[in-house]
Copies of this chain bind each other. A is one copy, B any other.
Amino acid sequence: MIGQLTGLVGQIEGERCIVDVNGVGYVVSASTRTLAVLPQPPSVARVLIETIVREDAIQLFGFATTDERDWFRLLTTVQSVGAKVALAILSANNPGELLLAINAGDKGSLTRAAGVGPRLADRILSELRNKVAKMPGGGGTVSAPGIVSGPSVENDALLALAGLGFRRAEAWPVLSKVLAENENATLDLAIRLSLKDLAR
């Protein structure tokens, strides 16, 4: 149901935080890596979300990159690897390290994650060995967490500026000028330069 949240991150406790979107604070579970890179208030953070619905819970799992989310989806296909264990594995390994570990049959990288013993590590290696060829992190650049560049900078900057209270009708012309004058501007640069102009 929910695939993405853009808001203020707060109350980081263990593997959870609150992402506050205009007054509704959503409880998001994430790997310690993702929690560590999420921009702190007053900056606005955008988190990719996987919603898991059960009879007794509706849980939101958050990721800084599509790579991490795709690995979460693949890990949770393995029998006995639930969301919590998948997050623990992603806290212990980034996507690139995970791909290397599975290709190399390296159990150690998996067992250093909480909740993963030798037997479960064996099962992960055997079930996933033939499924990781197309997984991200294999030689391609691991997209920097939270930093999005390229065509969607415009959308994300618009969202962030809207999150800061600027009307899209005001923000958009200023942002377009900034993007025209700074060809490969990252999201962070686009927002900062626009703010300079808008805050005048």
**Interface residues of A, Cβ cutoff 8 Å to B:** 1-8, 10-11, 18, 20-27, 41-42, 49, 51, 53-60, 152, 154-155, 158-159, 162-170, 172, 195, 198-199
Which chain B residue shows the least CB distance to A24? B21
Enumerate chain B residues within 8 angstroms of A172, measured Cβ to Cβ.
42
Nearest to A175 among chain B residues (CB) is: B42
Q: List 21 A-B contacts (CB under 8 A).
A: A2-B27, A3-B18, A4-B11, A4-B18, A4-B24, A6-B20, A6-B23, A8-B158, A8-B159, A22-B22, A22-B23, A22-B162, A23-B162, A27-B51, A41-B158, A42-B158, A53-B57, A53-B58, A164-B168, A165-B167, A166-B167
Q: Is the CB of A168 within 8 A of B42?
A: yes
Q: Please tell me if the beta carbons of A5 and B23 are within 8 angstroms of each other in the complex.
A: yes
Contacts A22-B162, A163-B168, A170-B165 given; does A155 touch B1 at CB 8 Å: no
Interface centre among A53, A195, A198 (most CB of B within 10 A): A53
How many copies of this chain does one complex carry?
Answer: 4
- Residues from chain B with Cβ under 8 Å of A42 in the complex: 154-155, 158, 168, 172
Q: In the complex, what distance in Å separates the CA atom of A53 from the CA atom of B1?
A: 10
Select from chain B the residue with minimum beta-carbon distance to A152.
B10
Q: Return chain B residues, CB-CB under 8 Å to A165.
A: 162, 166-170
Q: Which residue of B lies closest to A59 (CB)?
A: B1
**Cα of A152 to Cα of B18 in the assembled complex, Å:** 13
Bound Cα distance A57, B55 (Å): 9
